[in-house]
Amino acid sequence: MKQDPTFVIIDVRRPDEYAGGHIPGAINIDSTHLSEHLESLDPDGTYLLCCQRGGGRSAGAREVMEKAGFREVYDVKGGMSAWQAAGLPVTGGV
């Protein structure tokens, strides 16, 4: 990931959820506002989407991005819940 400058982690949760802890380097774009930000994202980039439990929000955001022509869009299986349970790094929060 670090060697690919086009790799972007997008946390699609609400700002208050993001503030409670997120993947280091992730940007926060609430899934309800994602379509408003698509023009600022590179459709040739690689994206990893994360929500709370890896279900509805990241899957819906992935569909929106794919329909808009983004080719490499993935989501964190199990979301932040699984990320934290695996002991992976988290920044922000208490």
* Dihedral (CA of 70, 35, 64, 6) sign: positive
Q: Which residues are catalytic?
A: 51
**Whether residue 49 has pLDDT greater than 80:** yes
Q: 71-80 pLDDT, tens per residue?
A: 999 999 999 9
Q: What is the band of 92 on the pLDDT scale with cuts at 50, 70, 90? A: confident
Backbone φ, ψ for residue 41 (5° rounding) = -105, 145
**% of residues, the chain, pLDDT over 90:** 82
Q: Rounded distance, CA 74 to CA 93, Å?
A: 24
pLDDT score at 55: 73
